[in-house]
Structure 1
Amino acid sequence: MQLPYECQIGLRYLRAGRRSGRNSFISFMSLVSIAGVGLGVAALIVVLSIMNGFQRDVGARMVAVLSHIEIYDARGILNDWQATARDAARNPAVQAAAPFVELPGMLLQEGEMKPALLRGILPEQETRVADFMQGKNAAALAALKPGAFQIVLGAELAKALHVKTGDNVVLAIPSQQASLSSAMPQTRRFTVAGTFDVGHFEFDSGMAFVHLADAEQVLHVDAPIGLRLRIADANQAPQVARELKFSLNGNYLVRDWTQRNATWFAAVQSQKHMMFIILTLIVAVAAFNVVAMLVMSVTDKRADIAILRTLGASPPSIMKIFVVQGLLSGLLGVLAGTVFGVLVAWNLPGIASGIEHVLGVQILDKNIYFITSVPSQLLWSDVGGVVGVAVLLSFLSTLYPSWWATRTNPAEALRYE
């Protein structure tokens, strides 16, 4: 199928300067415009992939420790958690349940003092709801025995306290009988039974596990305070939590894992949106190169435009010629940037690891970012959005120069030819 003459001329203008050796500066500007759009598109794809990977990896580590769904009794404790677990299991999405007790406190050992969130668990039940209960972690938590007052510390927390398996630590929590005049904390000595490592610094440095019976004794209660549920798909936790809130018999508070970390997820989404806007401006700046290239091309082709007009070409046809020329430059940049960005996003962890090895630095500090390796998750929906925005900006950048080409006066343009 033969292309319309506007497309043929626009394509010829795009490549004629490089092929014939004339108008080298216009050809250079064309290359700059293609490279600018390509780099902007590649940067957008890579950055959005990093944001997606960061959210995925940190979220997975959160879900490994946190409950998909937590159920609390409004009265304070679950006197019959087994019955509540049976009621919750009627929902087909619920796979397992485990009781727990949580209490914030301070851990002390030979002058070192660190805050920690202690969770009392039944090890045999916890393995059914916690993803991190595998390998060494599962073996350490399985060692917890009722009445032995043993504790399993996060690896970073144990390192900060300078303790190892078999050492003793002292737990200090606010006294249940404390008054304004006497606020001495309640203390209890625990033996370190092991450590766990989930790869999330916040949990590894500030969380510890004890047996449920020991936690209840420390808190002076005779039942767990909540129930942790595991569901088939963690992403469906908000929907399942709403269903349970209406289906459970009793006055229960139901909370899913996204609510517990709502601020973090909102911050990540906000950062992703802002990065998209900022990097889109880079693509927009690159599109101005297309404007400059077309303006110079129109100036250089004034005689050609005049001849086409005298042969009967209409102003819309003249406009289409330069729209095709500019849009092809943008499309070439978008195509090159998409290919480059996708390849980098797919291989980013290896690239980042190589950079760290060569430069001897660590790109991500786990104390700040919770993870130590650069993550990446390429979503084709993001790629499609980036390509769409880049093509639109490239098209818009062709409109004014193309319209200006239609204002050429044939007689004046050919006067000195």
Structure 2
Amino acid sequence: MFRPLFVFIGTRYTRAKRRNHFVSFISLTSMIGLALGVVVMIVVLSVMNGFDHEMRTRVLGMVPHATIEGDQPISDWQALASKVKANPQVEAIAPFTQMQGLLTSNGKVQKVLLNAIDPAQERKVSIIDNFMLKGSIDELTPDSFNIVIGDKAAKNLGVGIGDKLTFVTPEVTVTPGGIFPRMKRFTVVGLFHVGAGELDGYLGLTNLTDLARLHRWKPDQVQGLRLKFDDLFQAPRVAWEIAQKLGDHDYYARDWTRTQGNLYQAIRMEKAMIGLLLLLIVAVAAFNIISTLVMVVNDKKGDIAILRTLGATPMQIMGIFMVQGTVIGVVGTLIGALVGIFCALNVSAAVSALEGLIGHKFLNADVYFIDYLPSQLQSEDIVLVCGAALILSFLATLYPAWRAARTQPAEALRYE
């Protein structure tokens, strides 16, 4: 098979053993350094993708994409829902009512956001069924005063299925005997685990009718409508448009960017900044090829002079060392990509196994929004990382190859 002279000699130099073993060692370290840089970059970007994915699927699958609420309790929510549903970007609608308060049991206290739902409608806008450990939201029947809480809250309160909890509302009742907080007993009928500390610890679910009674509303009155969109990133704009069409003063909209937006933006910004910093690591590893090729050029000055006297042009000499440096970059990048893909696909299981082995939790749900290390490998990240590594490797060959092309045969052979 025909190969240009510079490609033939360049690949031969790459395979050949050198007289200077230090040069061979530097070539090997350059290749390993580039491979490690690619591995780290692929793994870290996959982990950041995992955080982004879990944020969108788990956390934003539990909290509303947007809500439509009124200044007063909404009596005929079905009629309002039919108007909202007219917008083609609204995928599903469910009524809700919320109340903040405290849960107490056996002297233990836990703050809670009690979210009243209609189980049949809630499934259309929430993925709560995917995270149920015990029980079911179907047991949240009207006038039953049942409650579903997260496993973290249950652990803090020391309760399980069938146990009683006391919900203390932020309102008080004035009686002749004094002022007393309003309280209501609930029965635990379900436990869920989302993996997000905020949701597992501070969210409770009950029936719409039960919470309406605590608000002293009519049984069919609700606080608002929860909306699910085809594209959650359109939620702020579309929810505002819907509220405007319903009436400027009667209804207002809230969306997920007000409750979880800062966290999501932080994840996206961290991915960009960490990616840039890791790219610098890859750049350092790639530019180690410069020192490798400079030493190779010095080691091969005699060969270069002989090639020049045999008629090799400066461009051919330059091409020889560009091919050699590019081969180092390609091999290092390929090895790094394969190892990086393997590590990215197994990093979650490896970290989980390490946590079990040493008995320490690296991601505490009290600090982070999820309690495990996610990873999602994306092909575009692999292409981006490998492409950047190959480009930097190629650029690193230009200066040493240019120096080789300027070698004068007489000078190189003077002391041979």
Q: 2:200 maps to what in 1?
A: 204
Deviates more, 1:7-16 or 1:330-339: 7-16
Cα shift at 1:272 = 1.2
Give distance in 1, aligned partners of 2:354 and 2:79.
55
Residues 131 and 192, structure 2, Cα contact 8 Å, conserved in 1: no
Give distance in 2, aligned partners of 1:351 and 1:93.
40
Q: 2:366 maps to what in 1?
A: 367
Give distance in 2, aligned partners of 1:392 and 1:294.
16
Taking a change above 3 Å as real, the CA distance of residues 185 and 89 of structure 1, as seen in their structure-2 partners, is farther
**TM-score if structure 2 supplies the norm length?**
0.88
Give distance in 2, aligned partners of 1:358 and 1:255.
44
Cα shift at 1:375 = 2.0
Give distance in 1, aligned partners of 2:120 and 2:354.
43
Amino acid at match of 1:368: V
Determine whether 1:31 maps to 2:28. yes
Q: 1:2 maps to what in 2?
A: 2
Determine whether 1:249 maps to 2:246. yes
Determine whether 1:341 maps to 2:340. yes
Q: 2:170 maps to what in 1?
A: 174
Amino acid at match of 1:131: I
Q: 1:396 maps to what in 2?
A: 395
Determine whether 1:61 maps to 2:58. yes
Give distance in 1, aligned partners of 2:356 and 2:163.
37
Deviates more, 1:131-140 or 1:221-230: 131-140
Q: 2:16 maps to what in 1?
A: 16
Q: 2:159 maps to what in 1?
A: 163
Q: Secondary structure at the match of 1:405?
A: helix
Cα shift at 1:263 = 0.8
Amino acid at match of 2:57: A
Determine whether 1:195 maps to 2:176. no
- The 5 A counterparts of 1:11-410 are 11-17=11-17, 22-73=19-70, 75-133=71-129, 139-175=135-171, 186-199=181-194, 200-222=196-218, 223-231=221-229, 233=230, 236-239=231-234, 242-243=237-238, 245-247=240-242, 248-251=245-248, 252-410=251-409
Residues 99 and 114, structure 2, Cα contact 8 Å, conserved in 1: yes
Q: Secondary structure at the match of 1:205?
A: helix
Taking a change above 3 Å as real, the CA distance of residues 325 and 307 of structure 1, as seen in their structure-2 partners, is same
Q: Secondary structure at the match of 1:368?
A: coil
Q: Secondary structure at the match of 1:171?
A: strand
Q: Secondary structure at the match of 2:36?
A: helix
Q: Secondary structure at the match of 2:351?
A: helix
Determine whether 1:413 maps to 2:409. no
Q: Secondary structure at the match of 1:3?
A: coil
Amino acid at match of 1:189: K
Pairwise CA RMSD of aligned residues?
A: 2.7
Cα shift at 1:370 = 4.3
Amino acid at match of 1:194: V
Amino acid at match of 1:5: L
Taking a change above 3 Å as real, the CA distance of residues 358 and 245 of structure 1, as seen in their structure-2 partners, is closer
Gapped runs of 5+ residues in structure 1?
Answer: none
Cα shift at 1:102 = 1.5
Give distance in 2, aligned partners of 1:190 and 1:151.
10
**TM-score if structure 1 supplies the norm length?**
0.88
Q: Secondary structure at the match of 1:108?
A: strand
Per-residue CA deviation, residues 262-289 of structure 1 (Å, 9 max, x unaligned), is 1111111122112212222221221232
Query: Percent identity among equivalent residues?
Result: 40
Q: Secondary structure at the match of 2:295?
A: helix
Residues 318 and 404, structure 2, Cα contact 8 Å, conserved in 1: yes
Amino acid at match of 1:352: V
Amino acid at match of 1:312: G
Cα shift at 1:392 = 1.7
Cα shift at 1:136 = 5.0
